[in-house]
Amino acid sequence: MNLPRLSQRVQDLFWAPRAIARQPLRVSSFTYAFWIGLAFGGYFILRYSGQWAEIDSVAFSGITSNLQLYGSFSQEINPKNYPHGYAFPVWMASLSYLTGLPVGELMRWYTPMVGNLFLAMFGFCAYRRWLGSDRLGLLAASVLFLVPEMVFTVSRGNHEKITVSLTLLASLALLKSFLEIQARNWKLFASWLTVYYLVSFTLSSLNVLFGSSFIVASTLTVIVAWVFLRFRPTQWGIIRRPLERLTLRIATSWLLVLIVMWYIYPSAGDNFNLLKTAVEKLGTLFLSFTPESNPYAQDADPWASVLGYRLISSFRWILFAVSFLTWILLLAPTIFRNSKAPLTRVFLLALYGAFGFQLAVAIPVDLIGLEAGSNLQVRMYVYFVLFAAPVFVLGVTRLVGPRTRLIVAVVMAGFGFLSVLKATLDPHISNLWMQYTRTELQAIRTWAQYEENSLLYLGRITRLNDAWYMNYGLGLPGGNNLTINPDNPEAPHALFSSTQEANNSAWRFRLPLLLLDNRVYDNGDAQIYHRLPRTPFQR
């Protein structure tokens, strides 16, 4: 199929009239979306029987445990607060009090299911309105789960399992408020507008930086639209009223963000200093053309096979390429024929471009080495995918005929399987394991009970360190601590297990000479060794 014909077919789908304002919900489609979320969430939990841990989950487990300990998120009372928002630790602490379950157990066994179900259901409800079809909405929601970074984000124990889904809900509420005011359904308009502001407030409370990504995208859309009207005043009468309404809603959304930062949670006001530092460092980066750090460099390859990694990660590039091509094919005709394009589709293209711009900005921000995180590009890609998925579906739908639907279904199932493999860091493809065993935790717990002010070496990666703190949050008793530095002379004890031995082999790490030391603990799978004194000053 030649490019002009493809462009025309995609445009026909884009401008196809659809009565999306009053289209009834098909319960069967919603049920399919529910089962998709249930399947991915269930696999993430059951792959390691709930025995998994990773660094962000560890951090929020400790933050939530401190909130329960101090009973306040005030900086004066509780110095170990999350600086970018308070809602997620409060939510996790409330669930812990309500269910009587420890925070770590909630994160490992229950919240991955919540995150995947929210993504599937909110995604389907939002996309069926953006695309005007239950079938297209279900397909777009399914595409989200083919991106391993998305599955990992909504499954692990941080605020993004809620932030991502609420971003979809914010887009749905904003879209519905426009549709209802056009239909002059004032009660429904007021209801959806209230939902939008409540969601915007909640997003800011979860995380001021990532929770504001939708507001930032909408702001960029408004700015570009006003500039466009300056050069094409003939279009003023068509989009003036919707643009004025959108401008007002975005302005009030920023007001909610400022209320959270200045009055409700002043700790989040430090993000202004972070923004100032980012601007200064970006200026230095572009003047010197030399990055302060390379966050994408690895001392050792965390993947078992480079070719396997490229295959597993291939769908994110397919999604980006197809959605970007579709966006290009639709953008120019929409600008010059926007009187024929539905307002919902025009706004969808605008949000795609705005989130794409934020993704592009994340790359130099990573290179300046901010403390806020060196993986901003990966994290912003997740939010970009939220609006790349429906644009991707617009492009793919016209390429798929009745004879190729079965092939597409098989390919999607294959990418879905690869997605959960990468999202769970499966040992068959990844060296950076996040699973652990109960016997390893038992060994650490026993050691901590009989030692005081001592140090235990756990291996060269943070796997067991993360496992302990995700389960127990506040650390070890008796002033004891854990280390992953093999050359630390202050660590008199070292833990070794069959899982650790297998992981060391995957990394090709040199095994420690433990046979020369005293074995002081053994539960059949995990052992603890006491290092023999090497000098007269060691004990």
DSSP 465-519: HHHHHHHHSS--STT-EEE--TT-TT--EEEEEHHHHHHHHHHTPPPP-GGGSEE
End of a domain among 423, 451, 486? Answer: 423
Helix or strand run (H / E) with residue 520: strand 518-522
Evaluate whether residue 331 is within a structural domain.
yes
Task: Provide mean pLDDT across the span 184-200.
Answer: 91
Is the predicted pLDDT of residue 539 greater than 90, yes or no? no
The CA R_g of the chain, rounded to the nearest whole Å, is: 26
Both tokens of residue 239? 């989009």
One domain, residues 446 and 376: no
Together in a domain, 210 and 351: yes
Q: Please, which pLDDT band fits residue 506 given cuts at 50, 70 and 90?
A: confident
Alpha carbon 517 to its chain's center: 44
> Which of 52, 138, 66 is CA-nearest to residue 463?
52
Provide the pLDDT confidence category of residue 509 given band limits of 50, 70 and 90.
Answer: confident
Q: What is the pLDDT of residues 298-354, one digit of tens each?
A: 545 688 888 888 888 899 899 999 999 999 988 877 776 655 667 777 888 889 999
Instruction: Provide, rounded to the nearest whole percent, the portion of the chain with pLDDT above 90.
Output: 32
In a domain, 65, yes or no: no
- 154 inside domain: yes
Find out whether 523 and 440 touch, Cβ atoms under 8 Å.
no
Please check the confidence at residue 52 and state whether its pLDDT lies above 90. yes
* 57 contacts 107 by C-beta, under 8 angstroms: yes
Helix/strand/coil for 124 = helix
With the C-alpha atoms ordered 441, 443, 444, 449, is the resulting torsion angle positive or negative?
Answer: positive
Under 8 Å CB-to-CB from 252, ≥6 apart: which residues? Answer: 197
Tell me the range of 365-369, 380-384, 502-506 where mean pLDDT is highest: 380-384
Burial call 232-242: b when 16+ CB within 10 Å, e when fewer: eeebeeebeeb
pLDDT range class, residue 536, cuts 50, 70, 90: low
Q: Helix, strand, coil % (nearest 5) of the chain?
A: 65, 5, 30
Query: What pLDDT is recorded for position 194?
Result: 93
Is 74 inside any structural domain? no
Are 407 and 444 found together in one domain?
no
DSSP letter string over 157-223?
A: SSTHHHHHHHHHHHHHHHHHHHHHHHTT-HHHHHHHHHHHHHHHHHHHHH-HHHHTHHHHHHHHHHH
pLDDT tens-place string over residues 263-295: 888 776 555 454 444 444 444 444 444 444 554
For 390-425, letters b (16+ CB in 10 Å) and e give bbbbbbbbbeeeeeeeeeeeeebeebbebbbbbbbb
Domain boundaries, position 378? 3-52+110-423
Where does residue 75 fall: left (phi above 0), alpha (psi -120 to 50 degrees), or beta otherwise?
Answer: alpha
Asked whether 26 and 134 are in contact (CB, 8 A), the reply is: yes
Strand-strand pairing, 493-497 and 481-483: unpaired
Sign of CA dihedral 204, 208, 210, 212: positive
What secondary structure letter does DSSP report for 435? B
218 neighbors 210 (Cβ within 8 angstroms): no
Euclidean distance between CA atoms 470 and 217, whole angstroms: 34
pLDDT for residue 374: 57
Domain assignment present for residue 406? The answer is yes
Is the domain of 136 the same as that of 269? Answer: yes
Beta bridge partners of 530: 493, 518
pLDDT exceeds cutoff 50 at 15: no
**Do both 161 and 305 map to the same domain?**
yes
| Domain end point (choices 357, 392, 423) | 423
Q: Where residue 192 falls among pLDDT bands split at 50, 70, 90?
A: very high
* Residue at 240 is within a domain: yes
* Residues 239, 230 contacting (CB under 8 angstroms): no
- The reply to whether 248 and 296 lie within a common domain is yes
Using an 8 Å Cβ cutoff, are 6 and 329 in contact? yes
In this structure, the strands spanning 526-530 and 518-522 are: antiparallel
Question: How many angstroms separate the CA atoms of 84 and 163, rounded?
Answer: 13
Together in a domain, 369 and 474: no
Q: How far is residue 32's CA from residue 264's CA, in Å, rounded to a whole number?
A: 40
Instruction: Say if residue 405 is in the same domain as residue 457.
Output: no
Of 377, 396, 423, which residue sits at a domain end?
A: 423
Mean pLDDT of the chain: 81
How far, CA to CA in Å, does 299 sit from each of 121, 294, 295?
Answer: 40, 11, 11
Q: Is 425 left (phi over 0), alpha (psi -120 to 50) or beta?
A: left
Is residue 401 very low, low, confident or very high in pLDDT (cuts 50, 70, 90)? low
Tell which residue, 241, 211, 202, has the closest CA to residue 87. Answer: 202
The closest of 533, 451, 538, 430 to 495, measured between CA atoms, is: 451
If one counts the domains in the chain, the total is 2
Q: Is 79 within a domain?
A: no
Q: Are 344 and 419 in a shared domain?
A: yes
* Residue 84 within a domain: no
| Shared-domain flag, residues 213 and 295 | yes
What pTM did the predictor assign?
Answer: 0.86
Separation between Cα atoms, residue 393 and residue 388, nearest integer Å: 9
- Asked whether residue 272 falls in the same domain as residue 243, the answer is yes
Do 379 and 303 lie in one domain? The reply is yes
pLDDT at residue 133, rounded to an integer: 85
Phi, psi of 354 (to 5 degrees): -70, -45
Three-state DSSP class for 146? coil
Max Cα separation, the chain? 88
Average of pLDDT values for 439-463?
A: 89
